């Protein structure tokens, strides 16, 4: 069958579909992706456009008048190759900066690189310890922090020159407990896997967190780059055992009635996984959190009878339950129903319709991203991967479903090598 014939048959099928049948067919797309990404992003964008036209918007402007003392913790394992460059780029970017490097049981030259840097850079502390995982490393650094604000940074990440200045500004407001930086993919041009993640980070981290922060339901501060009130961290006893410690600490802060802000200007560049195997392992770990934290450890935040209940916390949890827990499972039920109802050959035209609409949705989101982006000349190139994104999203739903099921049935997160076994065995298994 030629493409012209297929196109004509598909358009005829589409035009002959009764409106009510079309709505039922598209219901998963409407409630699963369009609501979460397109509709919410367009609403926030239209609001900002309106304020811009009224000359009342400060969306793209961030005053840098707040200058607290900052302790920056770089905790890592076997990061000797990347640490030197990270530290050199940090130095001199902020006037009141203490750098704390934590070598979490490395077997490479990370400790030697850190001590060589500290020898020539005043205000730098190096801690070497037995491996205890990322939370353990950050807590070790927190014990030596003297700054009003504590920033955590991955050892293999790179900050924009004004990133520290930018990320501390929301913390001038005492109602803000933490601020999340804007994590971007540094190695996006490596291969198809990283190119897809480059656009995904723009959509989910950059645009998604602009929307979540504006709605007051931001529930995570990127583990790669985030800022916290030092005294608040100490009052809470620091970070609990991960994985997912970046989300856990934020939910604990929200329990205290404090806001979480996203700072898109505070850019952090990190290397994304370059293979499907490593990416799958990373995303499984990320998706375990919705079961571990929102469905177990911090479930009290959604209980109207509990003192930690607030409407914004309830909406945060509802968003996570619906879009990260229930709908991924429902998606497969829908696919089974579709195959049983139409057969394999009958799913071709509906599949093509879904594909076209998903690509169109990504085009809309990319246009919104470009409106907010300070790097339009670079970010518009992500348009090249949009035709592949529906397949990438299908892969993500597979990984999400696997992660949900294994965490619900076996608490898989507490057998993950991200945290050393002796630490996993000593902590509570939520």
Domain range 70-274, its CATH number among 1.10.10.60, 1.25.40.10, 3.90.550.10, 1.20.120.160: 3.90.550.10
Give the count of beta carbons closer than 10 Å to the beta carbon of residue 192. Answer: 12
Q: Which two tokens stand for residue 424?
A: 């996993």
Q: Kindly report the pTM of this predicted structure.
A: 0.92
pLDDT for res 189: 94
pLDDT for res 32: 73
Separation of alpha carbons 178 and 365, rounded Å: 27
Query: What does the DSSP 8-state code read for residue 273?
Result: P
Q: Tell me the CA distances in angstroms from 330 to 61, 139, 339, 401, one per residue in order.
A: 41, 39, 14, 10
pLDDT for res 51: 86
pLDDT for res 57: 61
Place of tokens 């520290």: 164
In the chain, domain spans: 70-274
Give the count of beta carbons closer than 10 Å to the beta carbon of residue 251. Answer: 22
Residue 103 is inside which H or E element, if any? strand 97-104
Q: What are phi and psi of 267, to 5 degrees?
A: -95, 135
Separation of alpha carbons 256 and 177, rounded Å: 9
Separation of alpha carbons 138 and 238, rounded Å: 8
* Closest CA relative to residue 419, chosen from 138, 226, 218, 168: 138
Give the relative orientation of helices 3-16 and 348-372 as an angle to the nearest 10 degrees: 90
DSSP letters spanning 140-181: HHHTT--SSEEEEE-TT-EE-TTHHHHHHGGGGSTTEEEEEE
| b/e map 272-302, b = 16+ CB within 10 Å | bbeeeeebbebbbbbbbbbbbbbbebbeebb
Separation of alpha carbons 367 and 406, rounded Å: 37
Task: Per residue of the chain (430 residues), give pLDDT as tens.
Answer: 577 777 788 888 888 888 888 888 888 777 777 877 788 889 999 998 988 888 766 555 567 889 999 999 999 999 999 999 999 999 999 999 999 999 999 999 999 999 999 999 999 999 999 999 999 999 999 999 999 999 999 998 999 999 999 999 999 999 999 999 999 999 999 999 999 999 999 999 999 999 999 999 999 999 999 999 999 999 999 999 878 899 999 999 999 999 999 999 999 999 999 999 999 999 999 999 999 999 999 999 999 999 999 999 999 999 999 888 988 898 899 889 888 988 888 888 888 898 999 999 999 999 999 999 999 999 999 999 999 999 999 999 999 999 999 999 999 988 888 888 888 888 887 7
pLDDT for res 10: 83
User: Which residue spans within 230-349 are E strands per DSSP?
Assistant: 259-270
pLDDT for res 191: 97
Please give the order of strands across the beta sheet that includes 70-76.
124-129, 97-104, 70-76, 149-153, 225-229, 176-185, 259-270, 158-159
């Amino acid at each position: 069958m030629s493409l012209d014939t297929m196109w004509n048959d598909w358009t005829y099928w589409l035009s002959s579909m009764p409106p009510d049948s079309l709505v039922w067919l598209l219901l998963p797309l409407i409630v699963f992706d369009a609501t979460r990404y397109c509709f919410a992003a367009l609403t926030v964008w239209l609001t900002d456009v309106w304020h811009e036209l009224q000359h009342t918007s400060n969306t793209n402007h961030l005053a840098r008048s707040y200058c607290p003392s900052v302790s920056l913790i770089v905790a890592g394992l076997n990061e000797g190759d990347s640490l030197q460059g990270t530290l050199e780029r940090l130095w001199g970017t902020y006037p009141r900066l203490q750098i704390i490097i934590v070598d979490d049981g490395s077997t490479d030259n990370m400790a030697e690189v850190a001590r060589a840097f500290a020898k020539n850079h005043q205000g730098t502390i190096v801690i070497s310890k037995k491996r205890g995982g990322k939370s353990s490393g950050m807590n070790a650094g927190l014990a030596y922090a003297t700054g009003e604000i504590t920033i955590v940074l991955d050892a293999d990440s790179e900050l924009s020159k004004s990133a520290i200045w930018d990320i501390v500004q929301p913390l001038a407001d005492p109602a803000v407990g933490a601020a999340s930086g804007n994590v971007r993919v540094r190695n996006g041009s490596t291969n198809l896997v990283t190119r897809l993640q480059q656009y995904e980070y723009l959509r989910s981290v950059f645009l998604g967190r602009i929307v979540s922060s504006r709605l007051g339901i931001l529930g995570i501060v990127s583990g790669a780059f985030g800022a916290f009130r030092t005294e608040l961290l100490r009052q809470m006893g620091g970070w609990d055992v991960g994985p997912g410690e970046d989300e856990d600490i934020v939910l604990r802060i929200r329990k205290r009635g404090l806001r979480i802000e996203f700072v898109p200007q505070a850019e952090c560049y990190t290397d994304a996984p370059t293979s499907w195997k490593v990416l799958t392992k990373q995303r499984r770990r990320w998706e375990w959190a919705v079961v571990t934290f929102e469905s177990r450890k911090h479930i009290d935040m959604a209980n109207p009878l509990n003192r930690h209940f607030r409407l914004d916390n309830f909406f945060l949890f509802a968003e996570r339950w619906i879009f990260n827990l229930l709908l991924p499972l429902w998606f497969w039920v829908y696919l089974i129903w579709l195959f049983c109802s139409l057969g394999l050959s009958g799913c071709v035209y509906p599949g093509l319709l879904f594909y076209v609409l998903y690509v169109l949705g990504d085009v809309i989101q990319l246009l919104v991203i470009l409106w907010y982006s300070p790097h339009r000349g670079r970010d518009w190139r992500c348009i090249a991967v949009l035709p592949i994104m529906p397949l990438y999203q299908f892969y993500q739903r597979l990984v999400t479903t696997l992660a949900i099921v294994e965490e619900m049935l076996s608490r898989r997160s507490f057998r993950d090598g991200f945290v050393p076994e002796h630490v996993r065995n000593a902590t509570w298994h939520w």
